[in-house]
Amino acid sequence: MSATAPPLEVVHLRAGYVRDAWIVEDASFALAAGSMTALVGPNGAGKSTLLKAVLGLAPIVRAERVAFFGGDLDAARARVAFIPQRSAIDWDFPATARDVVAMGLVARIGLFRRTGRDALAAAERALDSVGLLGMAREQVGELSGGQQQRVLVARALVAEPDLLLLDEPFANVDAASEAHLASVLRARAARGSTVLAVHHDLRSVRAHFDEAILLNRALLAHGPVAAVLTDARLAEAYGFVGVTSAERAPAARAGEAEARA
Amino acid sequence: MNAFLAIDLPALLAAVLATVACGTLGNWLVLRKESMTADAIAHAVLPGLVAGYLVSGSRSMGAMLAGAALAGVASVLLSAAIRARTRLEAGAVLGVVFTAFFALGVVLLETQGARQIDLDPSCVLFGSLETLFVAAPEGGSWLAGVPGEIWLLAAAAVLALAFHALLAKELAALAFDPLHARLSLRSPRALERALLAATSAAIVASFAAVGSILVVALVACPALIAAPHARSVGGQLSLGLALSIPLVGAAYFAAAHAPSLFGTATALNAAGMIAVLLVAAVPASHGVARVIRRLA
């Protein structure tokens, strides 16, 4: 494992749920340390599948190479954090926000040991960093969607990861939570962590991210946001020109609905 | 020795210990939305019980428990193997495997003539709480007469509580967000298998005393009764046991002694009564939670 190895390097990755029906047909990319990258593409492009496949969480994955900091995932497990889609979680679970954030420390605390005072204090600091210290003892099920998403980010941050992989962190999140989350991730990147997030709203890619990966089953482009999200490339990926499509509209509408509620 | 110490206390003790063993592990199954697993395991152990009986040629507890445990483990491993090779949903796989095992048990019962040689099918359903009694030897202590089933249940209850205490943090992370836990835990699959193995042990240990119907209720009901009021995993477990144990006691006495108050000679089946009361308590508890929320 060399010091200069990229936080994540993927070479010719294919992934899917059924044999010989690949959702992600070919993806190769490497993330630079400290970069913030948006993973964009139309619905069904395989964005979430790619994210899970990289972590070995998709059913079928074939790849020439998937390296974390130059080594395999097992060696880097403690340095990598994954935040699944909020909708993948059953929020009726009996736990406070602080309990959930402390779950980010389970591996570090170690088998057969209890979550002690130190871990709970660390969880409160992480909640503070996402602006939810006042909610530490609230049941997670009673928080708003945006607050739940911030709890998940706090659960990732509490372990001080060097690489953060997020699946739609801004989906169905009110505007205040989105701004807060973006600044938290930005601050994390400024301290050297690398961020890769599946992102739906093409309009806000530029505001939140430095780089973008454009995916539509295969990886179409990877680089600075302005260079990737060109009209020609978007037309190729989405089948239209510009960002006036229905693709971002549902996300925007859902965001407004949440803000109203 | 009075009748309470000789007859009521052992049966009560068995029912309460089974509640602790099954309810503690059942709390995790309920949190994972897998409480059907208990039903499945309770059915899957049947061929093992029958095989143990056939091999040993007697209703010896050791042989039948060993057989049941083997059948439980085999069915779990087979389910895991099928899940690893297909895209079937977990519940569907359990449904297939455990019904196959139960069918095998019935076939064994029928063809091997176990029915004629005194393996009572009603025992399978209702257990034998009524046949547990303390026969203290002349001049010996009460403890010396405690039947083996109760010691077995005590061991199962201690094992379940220890399992919970040692692995609660990992099990909670895995139940709340399996994808996240699969990345952060080194061997989530081993943890899931350990939970299934411990649950099987609790079910098998309880099976002989309380039967398959009550086992299923004991696994699911404590957690389901506590769920609408619980604010933590540990709270759900403690509240579930604290509410269920008095219910179990009340149901036992209602079954054993209430009929005689009405001049009926025959007592009701205790396991059946306990199951009815526990299951009825689940919607009652949800109703109470709704009222509390409206008042708050």
Chain B nearest-CA distance from A256, in A, is 27
Among A224, A176, A178, A183, residue whose Cα is nearest residue A201: A178
Question: Please, which pLDDT band fits residue B210 given cuts at 50, 70 and 90?
Answer: confident
Percent of chain B with pLDDT over 90: 40
Mean pLDDT of B47-56: 85
B234, closest residue in chain A (CA to CA): A94
Spell out which residues of chain B touch residue A104, defining contact as CB-CB under 8 Å.
184
Residue in B33, B169, B177 closest to A115 by CB:
B169
Average pLDDT of chain A? 88
Strand (E) or helix (H) holding A214: strand A211-216
Chain B nearest-CA distance from A84, in A, is 7
Residue in B87, B167, B230 closest to A94 by CB:
B230
Spell out which residues of chain B touch residue A114, defining contact as CB-CB under 8 Å.
169
Chain A interface, best mutation among B176, B189, B224, B237, by max A CB count within 10 A: B176
Is the confidence at residue A249, as pLDDT, over 50?
A: no
Contact across the interface for A88 and B87, Cβ inside 8 Å: no
- What whole-number distance in Å separates Cα of residue B137 and Cα of residue B139? 6
Is the confidence at residue B48, as pLDDT, over 50?
A: yes
> For position A251, what pLDDT does the model report?
44
b/e B52-65 (16+ beta carbons within 10 angstroms → b): bbbeeeebeeebbb
> For position B112, what pLDDT does the model report?
74
Is the confidence at residue A241, as pLDDT, over 70?
A: no
B186-202: per-residue pLDDT in tens?
Answer: 889 899 989 988 998 89
> For position A248, what pLDDT does the model report?
46
Is the confidence at residue A259, as pLDDT, over 60?
A: no
Is the confidence at residue B176, as pLDDT, over 70?
A: yes
Spell out which residues of chain B touch residue A17, defining contact as CB-CB under 8 Å.
87
> For position A69, what pLDDT does the model report?
96
Average pLDDT of chain B? 86
Residue in B31, B169, B180 closest to A93 by CB:
B31
Chain B nearest-CA distance from A112, in A, is 5
Is the confidence at residue A3, as pLDDT, over 70?
A: no
Chain B nearest-CA distance from A88, in A, is 8
Among B98, B28, B24, B68, residue whose Cα is nearest residue B204: B68
Question: What does the angle CA B209 – CA B212 – CA B213 come to, to the nearest 5 degrees?
Answer: 110
Whose tokens are 């090779």? That residue is B85
A87-142: per-residue pLDDT in tens?
Answer: 889 999 999 999 999 999 998 898 898 899 999 999 999 999 999 999 999 999 99
B57: left (phi over 0), alpha (psi -120 to 50) or beta: left
Query: Is residue B283 within 8 angstroms of chain A, CB to CB?
Result: no
Could you tell me if A104 and A127 are in contact, meaning their C-beta atoms sit under 8 angstroms apart?
no
Contact across the interface for B177 and A115, Cβ inside 8 Å: no
> For position B272, what pLDDT does the model report?
85
A82, closest residue in chain B (CA to CA): B180
Is the confidence at residue A40, as pLDDT, over 90?
A: yes
Chain A residues near any Cβ of chain B (below 8 Å): 17-18, 52, 55, 57, 59, 74, 77, 80-84, 88-90, 93-96, 99-100, 103-104, 106-107, 109, 111-115, 139, 155, 159
State the fold for domain B3-291. Answer: ABC transporter involved in vitamin B12 uptake, BtuC (1.10.3470)
Strand (E) or helix (H) holding A18: strand A8-18
Is the confidence at residue A244, as pLDDT, over 60?
A: no
Mean pLDDT of B207-211: 81
- What whole-number distance in Å separates Cα of residue B220 and Cα of residue B278? 9
Q: Which residue has the higher pLDDT, A248 or B173?
A: B173
Is the confidence at residue B132, as pLDDT, over 80?
A: no
Under 8 Å CB pairs connecting chains A and B tally to: 77
Question: Please, which pLDDT band fits residue A161 given cuts at 50, 70 and 90?
Answer: very high
Chain B interface, best mutation among A99, A151, A167, by max B CB count within 10 A: A99
Spell out which residues of chain A touch residue B167, defining contact as CB-CB under 8 Å.
111-112
Could you tell me if B195 and B31 are in contact, meaning their C-beta atoms sit under 8 angstroms apart?
no
> For position B113, what pLDDT does the model report?
62
Chain B nearest-CA distance from A121, in A, is 16
A168-226: per-residue pLDDT in tens?
Answer: 999 888 888 898 899 999 999 999 999 999 998 888 899 999 999 999 999 999 999 99
Helices marked H in chain B — which ranges? 3, 9-31, 36-44, 46-56, 61-85, 90-111, 121-126, 148-176, 178-184, 188-226, 233-261, 270-295
What's the Cα-to-Cα distance from B145 to each of A248, B5, B10, B62, B141, rounded to whole Å?
74, 11, 10, 18, 7
> For position A261, what pLDDT does the model report?
40
Q: Which residue has the higher pLDDT, B87 or A228?
A: A228
Contact across the interface for B186 and A77, Cβ inside 8 Å: yes
> For position B6, what pLDDT does the model report?
79
Question: Please, which pLDDT band fits residue B59 given cuts at 50, 70 and 90?
Answer: low
> For position B141, what pLDDT does the model report?
78
> For position B140, what pLDDT does the model report?
72
Contact across the interface for A96 and B232, Cβ inside 8 Å: yes
Chain A nearest-CA distance from B217, in A, is 21
Mean pLDDT of B232-238: 97
Chain B nearest-CA distance from A71, in A, is 16
Chain B nearest-CA distance from A186, in A, is 22
Contact across the interface for A103 and B179, Cβ inside 8 Å: no
> For position B77, what pLDDT does the model report?
84
> For position B114, what pLDDT does the model report?
53
Residue in A88, A95, A106 closest to B232 by CB:
A95
Is the confidence at residue A257, as pLDDT, over 60?
A: no
Contact across the interface for A104 and B232, Cβ inside 8 Å: no
DSSP B103-150: HHHHHHHHHTTTTTTT--HHHHHHTTGGG----PPTT--TGGG--HHH
Is the confidence at residue B290, as pLDDT, over 90?
A: yes
Residue in B177, B185, B231 closest to A139 by CB:
B231
> For position A258, what pLDDT does the model report?
43
Query: Is residue B175 within 8 angstroms of chain A, CB to CB?
Result: yes
Q: Which residue has the higher pLDDT, A11 or B83?
A: A11
Is the confidence at residue A250, as pLDDT, over 50?
A: no
B226, closest residue in chain A (CA to CA): A94
B68-124: per-residue pLDDT in tens?
Answer: 888 888 887 888 889 888 878 878 888 889 889 988 988 887 777 655 555 666 666
- What whole-number distance in Å separates Cα of residue A153 and Cα of residue A130? 8
> For position B123, what pLDDT does the model report?
67
Contact across the interface for A109 and B169, Cβ inside 8 Å: yes
Could you tell me if B105 and B97 are in contact, meaning their C-beta atoms sit under 8 angstroms apart?
no
Chain A nearest-CA distance from B64, in A, is 32
Spell out which residues of chain A touch residue B170, defining contact as CB-CB under 8 Å.
106, 111
Q: Which residue has the higher pLDDT, B128 or B201?
A: B201
B163, closest residue in chain A (CA to CA): A112
Contact across the interface for A93 and B185, Cβ inside 8 Å: no
Spell out which residues of chain A touch residue B181, defining contact as CB-CB under 8 Å.
103, 106
What are the tokens at B10? 């052992």
Window from A192-201, B39-48, B263-272 with minimum mean pLDDT: B263-272
> For position B265, what pLDDT does the model report?
65
